[in-house]
């Protein structure tokens, strides 16, 4: 029992960390930001090529905003704030580009298959998209 207390609860703090709401926000930001690695790895393995799915950008955006909040509102550390102050912009831009690209994908009138942007003919039934 004392080993568990010494390792998990040293000084009455879980893992030696003083926990409060801002600490939870900071750790959640780290967890969300880090989880994007697993999402990208899974998508790449599944498709057998390098893939960056939209969920990667959502996790990047969420993690960066959580960490920026922690840095600016709790830590008030200019180095930490500067690291996340603008990092969310490319994540948001990539999500907007993805949305625009998905919106531009043609749907075949004959078989309802969702094609790729720029396709003139349906790859499933051969009908023209125009």
pLDDT digits (tens, 9 = 90+) for 112-121: 877 877 777 8
State the virtual CA torsion across 112, 113, 115, 119 in degrees, nearest 10: -70
pTM over 0.85: no
Res 52: pLDDT? 94
107 Cβ partners below 8 Å, 6+ apart?
A: 113, 114, 115
Q: Give the separation between CA 74 and CA 52, rounded to whole angstroms.
A: 32
Res 6: pLDDT? 67
Residues of the chain above pLDDT 90, percent: 58
Res 74: pLDDT? 94
Res 48: pLDDT? 95
Res 58: pLDDT? 97
14 Cβ partners below 8 Å, 6+ apart?
A: 8
Res 5: pLDDT? 67
Residues of the chain under the 70 pLDDT cut: 1-12, 130
């Amino acid at each position: 029992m004392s080993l568990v207390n010494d390792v998990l609860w040293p000084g009455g703090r879980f893992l030696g960390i003083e926990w409060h709401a801002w600490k939870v926000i900071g750790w959640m930001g780290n967890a969300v930001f880090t989880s994007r690695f697993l999402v990208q790895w899974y998508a790449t393995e599944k498709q057998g090529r390098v893939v960056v799915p939209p969920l990667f950008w959502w996790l990047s955006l969420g993690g960066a905003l959580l960490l920026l909040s922690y840095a600016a509102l709790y830590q008030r550390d200019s180095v930490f704030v500067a690291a996340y102050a603008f990092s969310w912009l490319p994540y948001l831009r990539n999500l907007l580009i993805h949305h625009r690209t998905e919106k531009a994908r043609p749907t075949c009138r004959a078989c309802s298959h969702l094609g790729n942007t720029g396709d003139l003919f349906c790859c499933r039934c051969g009908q023209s998209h125009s």
